[in-house]
Amino acid sequence: MRTLRTIAALAAILASTLLASAHEFWVRPGQFVATEGELGRFYLFHGHRFEGEFVPRNEPYVERFELLTAHGAQSIMGRHGQPTSVARFATPGTSVVVYESREVVSELGPERFAAYLEEKGLGDIARQREQLGEADQPGVEVYVRCAKALVSVSAKGETAPAGLTDRVAGLPLEIVLQPLDTAAAGRTATIRVLYNGEPLADARLVAVSQARVQASAQQQTIIHTDADGEASFELDRAGPWMVTGLHMVRTDDRDDADWKSYWASLTFAVGEGEAEPANTPTNTPTSTPTSTPTNSPTN
């Protein structure tokens, strides 16, 4: 019990730093294309636009870490404090990696909280704080991470499926890629955002291509969902893509926080377009830190 209390205390101390410095949280598979029976490796990252650091697995804060297929779910296993978690790809098709954290409470000073709201496009929350007379008070928030990744799995002796088929995982805030018959550059991707299982209208999302941000850190596409919770964007580059979104609500029914936010992300990869030579996404994470991952707990 003492160890768990220590871990929880350290995580709480790190929470405000994580919110202030890490703009995204995502799952990075060791590979986006795999073969049936192969052992998959999965990494948690926090950072900005594919540039980030490993987040060591923190068992007290893991609500779910699963691999979903058409045949059901299996747990993604790993050791506390280590960066790598594993599961075997047992079924051909699209495997969906699902990560959900437990709640973490964070407090930011008035100016830092206001800057955070501005950066994330949460002007409505800033206006609520003004109306409630809280603009000059710290922002106390509890947040949950809701991350997904898609891996295309081929049957033994066969090529990988051309398309991607996501599935609803039941996360509190979830980004769902609508079926792509051909996951390749030049196609249009449509996503749907669900909040507690219902379409979320006017959700602000950021879509980034790893190839684009490597050329320029400012390269991103900002989209908003329609009344059905859907939005589309062009897959204008091959390789890994990330879509992220944040939804925040008032929490008048609890004493430990004024706001609750859900951070959602979806990562997947597409191949080259038909007019270009085929190219398989790399099998190793490219967002590799310059130093060896530490065992310091975080969420």
Q: What is the pLDDT of residue 213?
A: 82
DSSP 127-189: HHHHHTT-TTS-EEEEEEEEEEEEEEEEPTTSPPPSSB-------SEEEEEPPBSS-BTT-EE
In a domain, 228, yes or no: yes
How many domains does the chain contain in total? Answer: 1
**What is the model's pTM?**
0.84
* Domain that residue 96 falls in: 2-270
Collect the ranges in the chain with pLDDT lower than 70: 1-22, 216-218, 274-299
In a domain, 294, yes or no: no
Q: What is the pLDDT of residue 20?
A: 40
Residues shown for the chain: 299
In a domain, 298, yes or no: no
* DSSP H or E segment with residue 13: helix 2-21
In a domain, 284, yes or no: no
Q: What is the pLDDT of residue 16?
A: 38
Q: What is the pLDDT of residue 282?
A: 41
In a domain, 287, yes or no: no
Q: What is the pLDDT of residue 19?
A: 41
Q: What is the pLDDT of residue 49?
A: 81
Q: What is the pLDDT of residue 280?
A: 41
In a domain, 278, yes or no: no
Q: What is the pLDDT of residue 218?
A: 63
In a domain, 195, yes or no: yes
Q: What is the pLDDT of residue 13?
A: 35
In a domain, 176, yes or no: yes
